[in-house]
A and B are shown apart, each in its own frame.
Chain A
Amino acid sequence: MFESLPVPYGLVRFGVAPDHPDVKKSAETLEDVGKWPGFDFAGNIQIGDGPGQLPLTSIAPHYDAMLFAYGASRDKQLGIPGENLKGVISARAFVGWYNGLPEYAHLNPDLQAGDTAVIIGQGNVALDVARFLLSPINRLKNTDVSEHALETVSKSRIRDVKVIGRRGPLQAPYTIKELRELLNLPAVGFAPPPESWDELIQAERKKLPRQLRRIAEVLERGSKTPMDQADKAWQLGYLRSPAEFLSSNGENLKAVGFEQTEYISDIASTISGDPQQDLNNVRAMKVKGTGKKTMLRANLAFISVGYQSEPLPGFDKLGIPFDENFGIIPNDMYGRVMAPGRGPAGALTAGHIPGMYCSGWVKRGPTGVIASTMDDAFSTGDIIVKDWESGVKFSEGEEAGRKKEGFEAVRREMQRRGIRSVSWPDWMKIDTEERRRGKEKGKEREKFRTIEEMMQLVDS
């Protein structure tokens, strides 16, 4: 397992909210895997051709198969004016910051600039950010949230959070469990959108498929905390597409401009009575701009509109294509990497590149909760085993018929390049120290803030 950070786990460690520790339980399986004799972990590896980097061509020839499961490392861009104003922050960077991702250790978000924050996007990441800003501090204190983030948010002036989406309540990508959680936060009020729920939902509740009916119920019930008893509050806004980030001095965010949107057709007319069809059709309802402009005053705006994968350097050398449009490695949905011209019927048909597989977000696109991504991983794992057992062709390696050396050969390559990779026992050293530091503060762990600190410990 080659990983760019010195530590494993990716989003389970850096993406899952600190107040959702049960979701991180899936990490425990890897602890067992880490101890298997046939498993090698190599952390702190940057893939590429530059100095100190490890090219894919230094790994591929030494294994029968390679699996790409490196997810999505970039944000989708809005591409609207003002994105670079102070106060406009990527939700992904913010989550990384409070979760101790070294890349964002110095993000330094200003949570004292004003009392209102706007979150653009309505997925679970957007709700995570809202929950982080609205949670009473004692809810976060004993989690593995980064100490610097805890300190910053305890001095936050934000009292009002608006979570705005381009489409309607039944099209938004949030899931009901997270909505319910926000609505049940103690001392936090909820203001419904300015349009009525009937205008936004446009269908008789009992005709909606179960999943959408339950979301409508939860939203319409609102928060247990009445607004006059709330310390902080949030509001959902729909049918608003971000148009511009506004400033009066060209430096600091002052307001967010939106263009209002409307459904392209009547939602009620898409309901046929077949639950699965209705679920798909209502969720897929498109919107178009109306030209009407609205504005929300805020000094802080978070952009949470999804992620993007990128190809790894060296894909071209291995003949691995990348679909820039969908942001995935082309595959057959089971996980076999497909390339044009390799098919059985000649140059116009696609076929499997022997030994190449992919899984997770880089295979299906960057959406889905851990359980579905885990399921997908099992799918790909099953396919690799099935291919091996049925004699499907795998990677040829440096020389057809010659036994491949695996990690021993890669170790030599890394040595040649002066790469200091982190082993599983090295990671266990980091893990033990993080838990020890956490214990001192009554937390599950206190993560190292920077890669330098991690490597210092490993080398000591």
Chain B
Amino acid sequence: MHHPSRGADDTRPSSKPRKAISDNIFERSSLGGGVSRRVRRAGTATSTLRNQEKSRIADILRKCSQADVEDRLHVTFIDKDGDKHTFEVANGDNLLDIAQANDIEMEGACGGSCACSTCHVIVESDEMYDKIPEASDDENDMLDLAFGLTETSRLGCQVHMAPELDGLVVKLPSMTRNMQASDFEKR
């Protein structure tokens, strides 16, 4: 279904240049792991930014200004409408963090701790898929619960950008909201 438009109290600036992920990164674990991104979008994010996050961001900004432009990697997300969004990201950034920092509609219900399947992405190219380090049992167990699982499916929170993944293209599955008609079939 078409995602409803955001309300008037949305705090995003209307045309945000696509900055490097490093400017927006935060450690989910320092937030306690389970805080859904949605709460942040309501405008409480900046007011609850804790000291750990602040110093980590300061660290990253420092490294960012020291890094060469050539070290920037690229990843493209194809959203549910088929539109492509490409971002410059840093080595080590995971796809869930990248998506959420850039307002790509990806849910991370468990806060990126590999305990759900809401950050399910489909890797477009088989070749790229093979370059990503193999999924652990934990990740595969969660993928098994994802809707629309494919041969090249991965959990976004477990895929970390690396030089060999420069140019990675991933697709968001067309239905992450699992509304199966079988829920209502006669038993």
User: A371 touching B116 by the CB < 8 A rule?
Assistant: yes
Q: What is the minimal beta-carbon distance from A281 to any residue of chain B, in angstroms?
A: 11
The answer, yes or no, to whether A409 is at the interface (CB within 8 Å) is no
Chain A CB within 10 Å, residue with most, of B7, B31, B35: B35
Q: Once the chains bind, are B144 and A28 in contact (CB under 8 Å)?
A: no
- Residue from B34, B38, B117, B177 whose CB has the most chain A CB atoms within 10 Å: B34
Closest residue on chain B to residue A179 by CB atoms: B141
A129 to B7: give the CA distance in the assembly, Å: 45
Chain A interface mostly:
helix
Q: Which single residue of chain B is at the shortest CB-CB distance from A368?
A: B178
Q: Is the CB of B109 within 8 A of A364?
A: no
A386 & B183 in contact (Cβ 8 Å cutoff): no
Q: B149 in the interface, Cβ–Cβ < 8 Å?
A: yes
A371 interface neighbour in B33, B38, B110, Cβ under 8 Å:
B110
A177, A334, A383: the one within 8 Å of B142 (CB)? A177
A residues near B174, Cβ cutoff 8 Å: none
Determine, out of A104-112, A153-161, A243-251, A372-380, the stretch whose residues face the partner at the interface: A372-380
Task: Given A378-B107, A382-B3, A389-B4, check contact A25 B117 (CB 8 Å).
Answer: no
The distance in angstroms between the C-alpha atoms of A32 and B141, with both chains bound, is 30
- Residue A429, interface by CB 8 Å: no
B50 to chain A, nearest CB (A): 12
Contact B7 A385 (CB under 8 A): yes
- A33 contacts the other chain (Cβ, under 8 Å)? yes
Known: A23-B115, A333-B179. A175 touches B35 (CB 8 A): no
Q: How many contacts A-B (CB < 8 Å)?
A: 101
Residues of chain A within 8 A (CB-CB) of B177 are: 375-376, 378-379
The reply to whether the CB of B49 lies closer than 8 angstroms to some CB of chain A is no
Flag if A375 contacts B33 (CB, 8 Å): no
A15 to B19 CA separation, bound complex (whole angstroms): 42
Distance from A327 Cβ to chain B, minimum over Cβ atoms (Å)? 10
Tell me if B117 and A371 are in contact (CB < 8 A). Answer: yes
A211 touches B107 (CB 8 A): no
Bound together, the chains give a CA A274 to CA B35 distance in angstroms of: 37
Query: Which chain A residues numbered 324 to 369 have a C-beta less than 8 Å away from chain B?
Result: 326, 333-334, 364-365, 369
Q: For the complex, give the distance between the alpha carbons of A328 and B187 in Å.
A: 14
In chain B, residues 118-162, which have Cβ atoms closer than 8 Å to a Cβ of chain A? 118, 137-138, 140-142, 144-145, 148-149
Check if A207 is an interface residue, CB within 8 A of chain B. no
Docked-complex contact B138 and A280, CB < 8 angstroms: no
In the complex, the answer to whether B149 meets A176 with C-beta atoms within 8 Å is: no
A369 shortest CB reach to chain B, Å: 7
A376 to B178, CA, bound (A): 8
Task: Determine if B144 and A176 form an interchain contact, defined as CB atoms under 8 angstroms apart.
Answer: yes
Interface residue ranges of A363-412 to B (CB < 8 Å): 364-365, 369-372, 374-376, 378-379, 382-383, 385-386, 389
Check: B48 CB closer than 8 A to any chain A CB: yes
Expressed in whole angstroms, the Cα–Cα distance for A276 and B147 within the complex equals 9
A180 touches B38 (CB 8 A): no
A180 lies within 8 A of B137 (CB): yes
Q: Is A425 an interface residue (CB 8 A)?
A: no
Contact at A364–B116, with CB atoms within 8 Å? no
Cβ-based interface call for B44 (8 A): yes
B interface with A by C-beta (< 8 Å): 1, 3-5, 7, 31-36, 38-39, 44, 48, 107, 109-111, 113, 115-118, 137-138, 140-142, 144-145, 148-149, 176-179, 182-184, 187
Q: 6 tightest CB-CB pairs across the interface, nearest first?
A: A25-B34, A371-B116, A386-B4, A177-B141, A211-B144, A28-B34
Given contacts A27-B34, A175-B144, A214-B140, 20 further A-B contacts (CB under 8 A): A24-B34, A25-B34, A25-B110, A26-B36, A28-B33, A28-B34, A175-B141, A176-B141, A177-B141, A333-B183, A334-B1, A365-B183, A369-B145, A371-B117, A372-B178, A374-B109, A375-B178, A376-B177, A378-B107, A389-B5
10 contacts between A and B (CB under 8 A): A22-B110, A28-B32, A210-B144, A276-B148, A326-B187, A369-B116, A369-B145, A371-B115, A375-B118, A383-B4
A interface residues with partner B (beta carbon < 8 Å): 22-29, 32-33, 175-177, 180, 210-211, 214, 275-276, 280, 284, 326, 333-334, 364-365, 369-372, 374-376, 378-379, 382-383, 385-386, 389
